[in-house]
Amino acid sequence: MPEGPEVRRQADRIRKAMEGRRLDRVTFAAVRLQDWQPELSGRRLLSVDPRGKAILFRFEGGLTIYTHGQLMGRWRVFAIGREPSLHRSLRLGLETALHGVHLYSAFDIDVLDDQELVHHPFLTRLGPDVLDDTTTPEDIRQQLRRFARRSLAALLLDQRLAAGIGNYLRSEILFEAGIRPELRPVDLSAQRLDRLAQAILDVPRRSYRTGGITVDNELAALQRREGVPRRRMRHFVFNRSEEPCRRCGTPIERGELSGRRIYVCPGAKFSGERLLRCDG
């Protein structure tokens, strides 16, 4: 499933092509939404707003199309006359005079008025968006205290903690913070909690800026000079089972927690919750 950084970059591409323009055509695959097609066609698209892993299309007149790509959803932005040909089910189409956007293989789509938007069951449960510039480390610390007795392995995937974190970000955040996945916020000192809150913001924002790279800029630059393929240099631990840790050389281990694969450096040695060796 695309995580917050990927969703936001996709929203950026859609925004560049569509925002502020009047839509000539709106199409829904779902029969229950097709009555909205003439209602939305001809309206100006005011904004394209990512919310964690969802994207909201806000139209003049107080209507919003809510979309969540879930696991299989795929977006395509194209110039009119150059429509993509995918062997997937088209679920939503938006077209201006110059550009179009297609959403394939996604079924969580709805049209909401302002009142319904405020009370939407998914949106109302979201925690602070990790990619929103207004979200601060203190916001994240407060959320960690709110869910203080849940293991971090499960908590980091809960969008009520912070919106936009998924599986690869979970492993990378815990590595950067130097914290074992089975620990809970209540187990951490104030200093370690601060470090975790900062990592929860820093890692997704780095991934957004770099197009999916979570290692630090210095290491990324070094690996580029050495000719390491991008797919192999993106992360510190995620998807690197049995490869050497980039900091201490210990082979990375893959496990499963909360029903999802997780990657850790076993070279990280602790005394209680204090990290003694390897920054991850």
Residue 131 lies in a domain: no
Residue 203 lies in a domain: yes
Residue 132 lies in a domain: no
Task: Provide mean pLDDT across the span 88-95.
Answer: 96
User: Residue 268 has what pLDDT?
Assistant: 66
Sheet holding 54-59, edge to edge: 45-51, 54-59, 63-68, 108-113
> Are 63 and 144 in the same domain?
no
On whether the CB atoms of residues 77 and 92 are closer than 8 A, the answer is no
Task: Provide mean pLDDT across the span 225-251.
Answer: 92
pLDDT surpasses 70 at 275? no
CATH number at residue 192: 1.10.8.50
> Are 70 and 152 in the same domain?
no
The more confident residue out of 71 and 52 is 52
User: Residue 258 has what pLDDT?
Assistant: 72
List the one residue out of 157, 158, 155, 164 whose CA is nearest residue 135: 164
> Are 118 and 158 in the same domain?
no
Residue 69 lies in a domain: yes
Per-residue model confidence as pLDDT tens digits over 27-47: 999 999 999 999 999 999 999
Calculate what percentage of the chain has a pLDDT beyond 90: 85
User: Residue 183 has what pLDDT?
Assistant: 95
> Are 47 and 145 in the same domain?
no
Domain boundary (90, 125, 160) is at 125
Handedness of CA 223, 224, 228, 234 (dihedral sign): positive
pTM: 0.91
> Are 232 and 146 in the same domain?
yes
SS3 state at 11 = helix
> What positions carry a catalytic annotation?
2-3, 53, 260
> Are 115 and 143 in the same domain?
no
Q: Two tokens at 184?
A: 């809970």
Per-residue model confidence as pLDDT tens digits over 178-212: 999 999 999 999 999 999 999 999 999 999 999 99
Q: Cα dihedral angle (154, 280, 189, 52), rounded to 10 degrees?
A: -40
User: Residue 141 has what pLDDT?
Assistant: 98
Q: Two tokens at 218?
A: 């210095």
Mean pLDDT is lowest, of 2-11, 27-36, 48-57, 245-254, for 245-254
Residue 195 lies in a domain: yes
User: Residue 186 has what pLDDT?
Assistant: 98
Domain boundary (98, 125, 152) is at 125
Range of the domain at 149: 137-277
> Are 89 and 38 in the same domain?
yes
User: Residue 278 has what pLDDT?
Assistant: 63
Per-residue model confidence as pLDDT tens digits over 105-139: 999 999 999 999 999 999 999 999 999 999 999 99
How many domains does one find in the chain?
2
Return the number of other C-beta atoms located less than 10 Å from residue 160's C-beta: 12
> Are 171 and 272 in the same domain?
yes
Could you tell me which residues are beta bridge partners of residue 56? Answer: 49, 66
Distances in Å between the alpha carbon of 250 and those of 167, 179, 247, 279? 22, 16, 8, 12
> Are 189 and 262 in the same domain?
yes
Angstrom distance (rounded) from CA 131 to CA 186: 25
Angstrom distance (rounded) from CA 255 to CA 269: 17
Q: Two tokens at 265?
A: 């450096």
User: Residue 195 has what pLDDT?
Assistant: 95
Per-residue model confidence as pLDDT tens digits over 62-76: 999 999 998 899 999
CATH number at residue 53: 3.20.190.10
Residue 217 lies in a domain: yes
Could you tell me which residues are beta bridge partners of residue 269? Answer: 277
DSSP label at 57? E
Residue 130 lies in a domain: no
User: Residue 280 has what pLDDT?
Assistant: 40
> Are 67 and 198 in the same domain?
no
